[in-house]
Structure 1
C-alpha cells in the first residue's frame, strides 16, 4: 500500500479509533498501582499517541504533497530516468504516460492533456520526472504549426510534482483562464526542485555535486524546445514556484534573463538556507554563496532586464517584511521590473497559493512572447 493511498490512511485512522476505545475499556482494569498496570497504561497511551500522530501525518502529507512514496519519505529514492529518443534531433525527453486534466471533460482537443515525462539533462545528467500540461489548442489542426508560451512550475521542498496538478490545480486554472480570455493557451511544465533527492540543493550548482541551476537554466529548456512547440527565446519561457520553488524561480529568472522572460516567487525567500537538508552547498566558494544570495546579487551585479513577481500576506506569512524590502531593492535597480501580490491574510499553504495562482498566470502571460491569437 502506497504512502498516499486511501488504504494506508484508513488503517491508521481505524487503528487510532480502536486503540482509543481499547484504552477507555481497559482503563478500569489498569487502575491499580502495580508495575504491570502502570506499564499497561503507559503502553496504551503511547501506542494511541503514536498511531494518532501517524494518522495526522498521513493526512497532512496527502493534503500538502510532501512525500510521494515510502522510499521518498525515508530518503531511499534512487531511481533515475532513462532517455529514449524516438525522433532524430529531438531532445532528451521521454513521455511515459498521459492523463486527463482534473475537472475537465472531453478529449485533448477540447480539454487539453497532461503528459508524464522523464527528462535527463544532456550536460548535467540530472534526471527528473515531470508533468507537462498541453492546452487544447496544441491538438487542434488549425494550430498545428503554432508555438506556445510556456512556464516551468516548481513545488516547494520536498514537494511532489503531482500536487501541482491535484492540489494546486495549475492545469485546470490555466485551461479555465484561457477559455475566459484572460490568458493565452500556455504549456506548463510541472516538477519539483528536488532533482537530487533527498537533498535540497536550493537550485545551486553545488561544487562536486548536482548542477541544479544549470539543469533548469539550460538542460530543461533545451529538452522542452526539442520536444514541444514552445515559443522561442528570448521571453517564450517563464518560471514560477512556491516556497523553495519560489526562491528558485526568482533566482533563475535573475541569473538567466535570456532564457526566462519572467519569474514569479509565491511565498518565496531570498537567500539559500544551509541546514541538515541542504548540506554544504557552496564548499567554501564565497563567489557562489554571494551569487545565491538575491540581496547581494541585486546590490553588486548589473540589474538584468527581466520581470519578477513576489507574493506574501500581511498576516500568516513569515516573509512579509523581507518581501517589502525586496520590492524596494528591485525598484532601486532601475531596470529589473517588480510586481507583487499582497494578501491581507494567508498562511504558508496550498490554500493561499491557490488564491494567488490565477493572477500569477495572468501576470506571466502578459510578459511572455508568443502568438496573441
Structure 2
C-alpha cells in the first residue's frame, strides 16, 4: 500500500520533506522580525528551533522506514493495528478439527508491488479462514516460473518471517532478498524458490511469537495453515512438507525455528538468523506475559517435549550471544531425525549482517527443501 495512509508511501515522504524545508527556512525568514516582549521573542525562536529539529528527525525516520519497512501503517507505528477477527481454540494442530485439503480453493486477487525492484513481487489481502486473521501477504515468483520450459513444474516455497518491528516488505526492501537471490537463481547457484512474506504484526506493537493463544491470536495457524493454503491454491506449489521451508531474522528467527519444530508435517527446514530460544527475550512478546506460556514456547523445551523428534533440519546462525549459543543448546538437545547446524557469524544484530548471509543460507535451503 502506498497511499496517503501508508507510512511508506510517497505522500507522507513528500509531506515530511516539505515540512522540513519550511522548518529550516522559517527561522531564516523571520528570526530578526519577531516582535513583542523579550520572553515572547525568545519563546518563539525556541519553538522554531524545536519545530526544525522535530521535522528533521521525522524526515530521517520516514526515510529509513521507507527503506527498511519496519512499519507500513500508522496503526503499526502507534500500536493500534489489529488484524485478528477471531481467535478460537484450534487445538494442538492449529486446525480446529478442520481438514485443509477438504476446504474449497480460494482464488486471490493480486496487485503488483511497485516499490520492489524487478516487478516479480505481488501482494494480496488474505482472509484466513482457519486462523481468523486478515492481513497482507507478499509473493515473489522466480524467473523460471514464467519460462515455458517450466510450465508444468511446481516450485518449492520458503516463507520469510521479519523481525520486530517488521512487515511483509521487510525482506524485500530491507534485506533486498530479490536483488541478492534472483541472479543466483538464474545461474543455478540457488534453487528457484517461491518466496512468501505475510504480515506478522497482528496485534499492534505486540510480538505474537507466532503462537496460537485462544482469545488473543492464532498467529501460528495464520502462517502455517492459511498462508500455505493460499500459496498452493494460487500458484504452482505443492503442499508436501518436503517442498516447504521457513526463514527469519531476529524475532522472525525464533518464529521460523518454532514453526518447523512444531510442524514437521508442514516444513522440512528452517533458517534462524540471530534468533533466541526463550520468547521472553523479545520485550514486546505476548508470550512474555505468562510464565507458563513462555516456558511452553521455549524452543529448547519444545524440542525436548516433542512426542517424537521432529524430522526437520535447522540452520542457526548468529554471534556468540546473538543466536549462536541458543543454537548450540538446541543442537545438544536434538535427537535423530532432527538435524541442527550452527554457524557463528560476525557483524552483529544488523540488517547488513543478515544480507551477507543470504546466498549461503538459501544455498543450504536448496539442499533441504526439494522441488516437487
Q: Following the alignment from structure 2 to structure 1, what is the Cα–Cα distance between the partners of residues 207 and 173?
A: 23
Matches within 5 A, 1:49-64: 49-64=53-68
1:125 equivalent among 110, 119, 132: 132
Taking the aligned partners of 2:75 and 2:331, their CA distance within structure 1 comes to 44
Per the alignment, residue 108 of structure 1 pairs with none
- How far apart are 1:251 and its partner, in Å? 0.8
Which residue in 1 is equivalent to 2:331? 331
- Are 2:320 and 1:306 aligned? no
- Residue by residue over 1:180-231, the C-alpha shift from the partner in whole angstroms, topping out at 9 and shown as x without a partner, is 2112221111223224445431211113121111222223223322332223
1:171 aligns with 2:178: yes
Question: 1:160 aligned to 2:167?
Answer: yes
Contact 2:76–2:201 under 8 Å retained in 1: no
Match of 2:296 in 1: 291
Instruction: Give the C-alpha shift of residue 355 in structure 1.
Output: 1.3
Q: Which of residues 341, 347, 350 is equivalent to 1:348?
A: 350
**Is the Cα contact below 8 Å between 1:102 and 1:172 reproduced in 2?**
no
1:96 to 97, 110, 114: 110
Of the structure 1 ranges 11-20 and 260-269, higher mean CA displacement relative to structure 2 is found in 11-20
Distance 1:324 1:245, change over 3 A: closer
Contact kept? 2:154, 2:238, Cα under 8 Å: yes
Root-mean-square deviation over aligned CA pairs = 3.2
Report Cα offsets for 1:24-49 as digits up to 9, x if no partner.
56556679983212322321222222
Q: Tell whether the 8 Å contact from 1:207 to 1:283 is kept in structure 2 after alignment.
A: no
Q: Distance in 2 between matches of 1:355 and 1:274?
A: 24
Residues 316 and 342 in structure 2, CA contact (< 8 A), matched pair in contact too: yes
Does the aligned pair in 1 maintain the 2:111–2:122 contact within 8 Å?
yes
Q: Give the gaps of 5 or more residues in structure 2.
A: 86-101
Distance in 2 between the 1:80 and 1:282 partners? 20
Q: How does 1:58-97 map to 2 (within 5 A)?
A: 58-77=62-81, 91-97=105-111
Structure 1 pair 352/90, CA: closer, same or farther in 2 (3 Å)? Answer: farther
- The residue that corresponds to 1:3 in the other structure is 7
| Cα offset, 1:259, TM superposition | 1.0
SS at match of 2:321: helix
When residues 63 and 282 of structure 1 are mapped into structure 2, their CA distance, relative to the original with a 3 A threshold, is: closer
